Structure 1
């Protein structure tokens, strides 16, 4: 078993006990970091994959484990701050603000051991957190987005730089990317352009495809994300939310049977994860039920109302 706490864990003291499990079927996306231990790199990669799969609690544990294995690894603490930061489905609270600030301060203290790109990531993330509890979140998020724009421009061969820049733009106005008339709100066109650039050069990047679906699904032409929908689930087949995500597009373009099947598979993947890890928190309360909600919607559109009722 791999019990998952309901709240984000505190940074550990000295311990020999692993702080996170190592999962299978999360794909092969990697982001090389400066670390003396291969296994710290493995858990960092897993943490970033889980970020892109919107399982932020589990990602946080992976980054904690990377830091336990290699306490001098600056990017392990950057990852903790990333997992604790606001995301489009979960505004930040006081506890996460405090822990995120502490994590990124630790990363800053270790940045002399890091590479130039890693220092850029760390210094950008430092703009997202403040010591003061009453710091203005919109200003922090804007400063972070500006720093990520500079990082993405400086390192065009790094797909995570571009993807996380788009994510920063989208987090400035979560779920408010298009007007009722289908006109783009500020920032979303830049996010879409950056994600399209990443996907063109790195066609198997799960984070770019995931965010792209969210960016365009409410637009006048969600069909442009059909290629992302058809590719995404295979990139991280052990991440239930990414297995589910194609349904956001399939429902919009009339592929109701595909949406139903996609969500049935997502339910199976998530139930296996929940059973294994006794999962708690937002993932269990929001992401898993969301699969079932979309099965109701898609089977109803298929004309299979009895199936929807039985779910």
Structure 2
């Protein structure tokens, strides 16, 4: 068959057009707008992050990198996980699951709702992946996380979490034999739970799925990690203890994996174990920061410090608690300047002051100045310090300053209500109710004070703590007990202290308060039990806490 030159030229133009069109459909055309994190992976130690074999990875050449990315993702090493997925994309730009991996690396379902820029990035990632060839299972993964990102402008964060969890449930029911599907479903299920649900039905379901998997795959980082998150509640913590003691060994080079067991240790009052695992976490985080940004401090180090200070205070170790605070104040640069750093920066000085009942120090607290941290973005975190300051000024009779701090707390609550952050708004509401109660007590309105403080304790009992915190600045149960003791109601105070100790075992002030309340109730045997528990808690520490001297003196005079 012969063609004229004009016909051949026309055919050539069509071919060029088609080739050009195909190129324009390639994902590379859209990659520049994604701002993917790139660079050499910064993995401290031997790069041990557990064993993962993800069946939906793409080319054989990228399988090892893809599995590493999944392992990093399972230990919430989000930055390096995204970089690893970006490496896969650069080698195999048509790997749809690599775009899913980045979308998962920026989805922090157990933490704060993502910012607008993150949501927009997620939408772009899903849009690119949808154009690429993919297996049925890959499409299910993408459709699931797409349910979280795509309608972010019209649906709130919780609704989108529920939509994602439902898609993962559908996928799990069809692929229940697939470990990774089950693990990601369990995480989505746990992330969709609301703090006010005290039945913990979703957490229990997620935990059961993961426990069944853990028996088959004991070196999988995600299984161990998400079991801990599922059982990070006073009523469930014992279920996670064995796993907590295993997780750090599964992923020894992950700062978050080293820290995470302390969530369970804190719930059970195992302070020495909490201190050990957080020291390891901080060391790993420092190693990472030195590789990424020498001289700066990573949020995982700061997060570990918050748990360290809490544990030190429960063992009466003021020296090391203050040492962490002085170290924090020396920070010149942090990354990223997020809610975790803001929380710890406010909580550390507040805790040290009020746990020691150093009311003068509490009444003069100021927010630490840390470069890059914009405090106006963190009303809940700021409330911690104003709450502690208000308590300090109540006890030092500076009621004028108390009302100033109370007004700050009310303004923070309004800010959080406006942005529909109901959990944090409720946390501030508990603080407000507590301060109002103690103002009433200071003014002699005792019954109103007890009523308000009881309400605050009930409010706190109906909600769970946020994963960022090892516990409240001061538990409302404990503050109610303190108030009852101050009003010479030792038996009622003892009941409140004991309830507090059930919910928060081995708290220093809880044990001491229970011992004093029992003594004032005439129950010397029970008082001795609590004083002995306090001394056992602090036996390894050369502490200057006066409560320890009181305990020793009582036990010397009362051999029960």
TM-score of Structure 1 vs Structure 2, range by shorter chain: 0.7 to 0.9
Q: Which residue number corresponds to residue 136 of structure 2? A: 116
2 CA distance for matches of 1:62 and 1:115?
22
State whether structure 2 residue 225 is matched by structure 1 residue 207.
no
Q: Which moved more, 1:114-123 or 1:130-139?
A: 130-139
Q: Which runs of 5+ in 1 are unaligned?
A: 1-9
Contact map agreement 1:37 1:69 (CA 8 A) in 2: no
2 CA distance for matches of 1:309 and 1:201?
44
Q: Which residue number corresponds to residue 56 of structure 1? A: 78
Q: 1:305 aligns with which of 294, 301, 318?
A: 318
Number of residue pairs aligned between Structure 1 and Structure 2: 289
Contact map agreement 2:234 2:267 (CA 8 A) in 1: no
TM-score (norm 1): 0.83
Q: Which residue number corresponds to residue 237 of structure 1? A: 252
Q: Secondary structure at the match of 1:171?
A: helix
TM-score (norm 2): 0.48
Q: Which residue number corresponds to residue 197 of structure 1? A: 212
User: Which 4+ residue blocks in structure 1 deviate beyond 4 angstroms?
Assistant: none
Distance 1:26 1:189, change over 3 A: closer
State whether structure 2 residue 127 is matched by structure 1 residue 105.
yes
By how many angstroms is 1:252 displaced?
Answer: 2.3
Q: Which residue number corresponds to residue 6 of structure 1? A: none
By how many angstroms is 1:34 displaced?
Answer: 4.2
Q: Which residue number corresponds to residue 263 of structure 1? A: 278
Q: Which residue number corresponds to residue 36 of structure 1? A: 59
Q: Which residue number corresponds to residue 184 of structure 2? A: 164
State whether structure 2 residue 142 is matched by structure 1 residue 127.
no
Q: Secondary structure at the match of 2:149?
A: coil
2 CA distance for matches of 1:88 and 1:58?
18
Q: Which residue number corresponds to residue 216 of structure 1? A: 231
By how many angstroms is 1:245 displaced?
Answer: 1.0
1:172-227 per-residue CA deviation (whole Å, 9 max, x = no partner) reads 246x1653xxx32x532322222222223322221122122122121313111111
Q: Which residue number corresponds to residue 91 of structure 2? A: 69
2 CA distance for matches of 1:279 and 1:140?
38
How large is the RMSD of aligned CA atoms in angstroms? Answer: 2.6
Q: Which residue number corresponds to residue 307 of structure 2? A: 294
Distance 1:131 1:251, change over 3 A: closer
Contact map agreement 2:123 2:146 (CA 8 A) in 1: yes
1 CA distance for matches of 2:206 and 2:66?
25
2 CA distance for matches of 1:221 and 1:239?
25
Please identify which structure carries the higher helix content. 2
1 CA distance for matches of 2:204 and 2:86?
35
Contact map agreement 1:53 1:242 (CA 8 A) in 2: yes
By how many angstroms is 1:29 displaced?
Answer: 2.1
Contact map agreement 2:82 2:105 (CA 8 A) in 1: yes
By how many angstroms is 1:51 displaced?
Answer: 1.8
Q: Which residue number corresponds to residue 275 of structure 1? A: 290
